[in-house]
Structure 1
């Protein structure tokens, strides 16, 4: 049986897919009531599963008429794809952000599951046994090189 976080994530992704604008606005308390959970559970799902690295922009407005807007960022053109990769990676990248980007590319079917697994293995902290910040800098260089090579097909 899936946990509440997974169910909420799948629900939000489903309604995002149905949205012609590629974005949704939700009321945190209403969603918490719908899933019979605390509002902080909604915050947790949004902050961990709808990140920029995974291809989402999240905006929130607090207060009485407050909302949370989630927008899916599409990677359409090769140029914008490379721009997104370079912007996300920069000169260094931590393992969690790198894995989020890989997840996003795999989810968008821009790389295969096998390619994703190979990249994750190559950039793992178990393989890159350097001290920080060198490890994150080396990870960024390897990740950029691998993704540019794979996406230049």
Structure 2
């Protein structure tokens, strides 16, 4: 940290997640934190997938009882829900996963990793507009209003 960022380690607040000591031995406390966090994220996504598929199949069965207009509205809202679930995955979890898992790679494969993580903040910043834009593009009423605003402006 001193060479790359000109920061003194003893004066920098930090949470150590490196599961190996400098001699290459396993530090079980930090490894258990990494494994627990990974398990929590995986269980979160498996619950999301299970509930999403269950909701999809139940909706498919129940939508037959609705009118065509109400059916279209329900499908649009379901798609918006799926898009809003994918947003955090793509823009928050996926960029940070390699950074959090990279401490496991060097001792096992003997690869020295030196990453700049500034791109990660860019991905996190893109999440907010993605969420709103996805919802506006999926729901027909929003699309109609947006098209009406653009055509009257031109």
TM-score over 0.5 (shorter chain): no
* TM value normalised by structure 2: 0.26
Whose helix proportion is higher, 1 or 2?
Answer: 2
More strand by share: 1
Provide TM-score, normalisation by structure 1.
Answer: 0.26
Bigger Rg over Cα: 2
The structure whose RCO (Cα within 8 Å, separation 6+) is larger is 2
